[in-house]
Amino acid sequence: MQGYVRREGRAGARNYVAVVPTVGCVNEVARRIGAAVDDARPMLHHQGCCQLPTDVRIVTDVLIGVCRNPNVAAVVLVSLGCESVNADEIVAAVRRDKPVELVRVQAGGGIAIAVEKGTEAARRLAET
């Protein structure tokens, strides 16, 4: 099989930059970033807010798993800023295995700026 060997030793058949929203409220931001970069794929979902602690833990673990998938070469994590899911925890878990960049919508100046920063990050990560 031709593929891509990852830092942690696993191999993937694809070499995508995953654009992962931490909460469904920023799906559109992730979708726009994914549409702007050929090798980027938005991983949309509708979780991450107004959930019980057990559910937040499950969502966090699933998002970490998506990011650590061997078909993912790098990650752009998109955070709204007020969600229940802890974006910094996801970044810390993923950073051990692959490049990850965090884009914060509310703290970063809004949707347009987040799309611009996320697109720049995805392009940069796709080149590595």
Domain that includes residue 15, residue range = 4-127
Contact between 78 and 108 under an 8 Å Cβ cutoff? The reply is: no
pTM beyond 0.85, yes or no: yes
Number of structural domains found in the chain: 1
Please determine, for residue 122, whether its predicted confidence score (pLDDT) is greater than 90: yes
Identify the CATH number of the domain in which residue 71 sits.
Answer: 3.40.50
pLDDT 10s digits, 84-108: 999 999 999 999 999 999 999 999 8
Query: What region does 103 belong to: left with phi over 0, alpha with psi -120 to 50, or beta?
Result: beta
Strand-pairing partners, residue 72, are 16
Q: How confident is the model at residue 1 (pLDDT cuts 50, 70, 90)?
A: low
How much is the mean pLDDT over the chain? 94
The tokens describing 29, both together, are 């931001």
Comparing 12 with 48, the larger pLDDT belongs to: 48
Average pLDDT score over residue span 11-23: 90
